[in-house]
Amino acid sequence: MRNSSEPNVFALHAEICKTFAHPKRLRILNALRSGERSVTELLRLLQIPKANLSQHLAVLRARGVVVHRRRGANVFYAVSNPKITRACDLMRQVLTEQLHRESRAVRRWRTG
């Protein structure tokens, strides 16, 4: 039986996937996997320009992927839901397995 809200869920799913469709945003999420970090810490870890980091954090924040809080002049970010990190980990595992399969196939072809 088809759920009438199903198309809306697929549309939301597609939108959230677009949020993860940039390597720098994935790097930001990876940097936040161990917990909250300040913008200063993220800049030091990721070695990207502040304006670029701010732009990507704004996208993640607008989609509800990260949350932020201010303490004085500092802004801290954290992943909004631990399932987001687990989903990224699962996708990375799938990709790693795929790369291993492809590299085995290339080795077999070369030694053919």
pTM exceeds cut of 0.75: yes
Q: What is the CATH number of domain 7-111?
A: 1.10.10.10
Question: What does the pLDDT profile of the chain (112 residues) look like in tens digits?
Answer: 455 567 789 999 999 999 999 999 999 999 999 999 999 999 999 999 999 999 999 999 999 999 999 999 999 999 999 999 999 999 999 999 999 988 888 777 888 7
Among residues 70, 92, 85, the alpha carbon closest in space to that of 32 is found at 85
**CA within 13 Å, CB half, 54:** 4
Among residues 94, 34, 27, 91, the alpha carbon closest in space to that of 60 is found at 27
For the chain, what are the domain ranges? 7-111
For residue 79, what are its two tokens?
């992943």
